[in-house]
Amino acid sequence: MEEMILVKDKNGIEFYTTESYSIEDIEKTQKKSVEMMSVIVNIFEKHGIDYMIAHGTLLGLIRHKGFIPWDDDCDLFVFDWDYARAIELLRRELPDDMIVHNRRSDPIYWPEWTKIRDLYSDTYESLWVIDRKFKYHGICVDILKVTVVNKFEYENEEQIDILKDRLKGRQNNKHKYAATHSLYRYSKNMAGILIDKGRLNKLEKEKKQSTKKVCIGNKGTIIECFFDLEDALPVKKMVFEGVEVAVPNNPDGVLHSMYGDYMKMPELKDRKPHFDKVIFLDREEEHGKQEK
């Protein structure tokens, strides 16, 4: 990893990058990522795929009216009912300078989400150095899944699972204590069973009565987030860096759920791009290599 240097964008916003990755390089990378996103969005719109911009792309649109100055990729959410179809459509319809990057195309690919890669660039990750072992390293657009679930169930999922596991253990102990004729332990265990069943039944009843839905982005991953479905749908259209895209119906609600006070800039030490360096490859030269 190269030493970080402090720079300013055209609006005077300071952030860190490397000597090998100038502001001009970042802007070139951003431009390529937007071009890729435009291609992807056109495919989604053509086939009626339910999507919207996500994470740093949405945050950049609302806080900076475009890219976050140090951000260098685009993020899209696709709803779970369309996700598999969306990836298959991209696999079929992307131009030959882009590829679907997931475990199907790269056996050692580890993220749970899919990346769409440019085949004529090479990025050097600063955060996930392990990604250098991947088959593809080009500039990317992240395609992230959104799962819609019952809000009460999501907020109480851990407590429900704990109660179920504990109840199962108590049920097993019931036979053990009966066999050993330990009346005190048996009685205490039976009381615990009744209490846990009561709590579990109460939670299950409240879950059935709850109708509010939430969206879970990247469920079960290191970047899991959530926001209310009513803040997400129906989507509306806005323009991000010259490209019309779908955005949440209430961006403020979504961003507040994901980031809290999202209009507050992060500390300077945290303002860094994803990459240490990006190399743009010669298309004719790379095409010649592929033919050989």
Kindly state whether residues 116 and 255 are assigned to the same domain.
yes
Kindly state whether residues 245 and 131 are assigned to the same domain.
yes
Q: Which strand (E) or helix (H) includes residue 64?
A: helix 55-64
Most confident segment among 13-22, 44-53, 152-161, 215-224: 44-53
Kindly state whether residues 224 and 282 are assigned to the same domain.
yes
pLDDT on residue 291:
46
Kindly state whether residues 138 and 165 are assigned to the same domain.
no
pLDDT on residue 273:
93
For the chain, helix (H) and strand (E) counts, in that order, are 8, 13
Contacts of 225 by beta carbon, 8 Å cutoff, 6+ apart: 55, 216, 217, 218, 257, 258
- Where among 184, 209, 234 does a domain terminate? 209
- Beta carbons of 262 and 66 less than 8 angstroms apart: no
CA nearest 240: which of 52, 85, 110, 100? 52
Residue 1's pLDDT band, with cuts at 50, 70 and 90, is: low
Residue type at position 19: E
- Beta carbons of 53 and 243 less than 8 angstroms apart: no
Kindly state whether residues 144 and 159 are assigned to the same domain.
no
Q: For the chain, what is the radius of gyration of the CA atoms?
A: 24
Say how far apart CA 115 and CA 112 lie, in whole Å. 10
Q: Domain with 10 in it: what CATH number?
A: 3.30.460
- Where among 173, 190, 209 does a domain terminate? 209
Look up the domain containing 231 and give its range. 4-148+215-291
At residue 62's C-alpha, the angle toward residues 224 and 227, to 5°, is: 30
CA nearest 100: which of 86, 110, 80? 86
Say how far apart CA 292 and CA 30 lie, in whole Å. 31
Say how far apart CA 161 and CA 230 lie, in whole Å. 27
Kindly state whether residues 177 and 235 are assigned to the same domain.
no
Residue 137 has pLDDT above 80, yes or no: yes
Kindly state whether residues 193 and 237 are assigned to the same domain.
no
Kindly state whether residues 168 and 84 are assigned to the same domain.
no
- Beta carbons of 148 and 214 less than 8 angstroms apart: yes
- Where among 168, 192, 209 does a domain terminate? 209
Residue found under tokens 């033919």:
291
Kindly state whether residues 86 and 203 are assigned to the same domain.
no
Kindly state whether residues 95 and 190 are assigned to the same domain.
no
- Looking at the structure of the chain, the number of domains it has is 2
Among 120-129, 186-195, 229-238, the minimum mean pLDDT is found in 186-195
Dump pLDDT digits (tens) for 34-67: 999 999 999 999 999 999 999 999 999 999 999 9
Kindly state whether residues 55 and 118 are assigned to the same domain.
yes
Kindly state whether residues 110 and 246 are assigned to the same domain.
yes
- Global confidence as pTM: 0.81
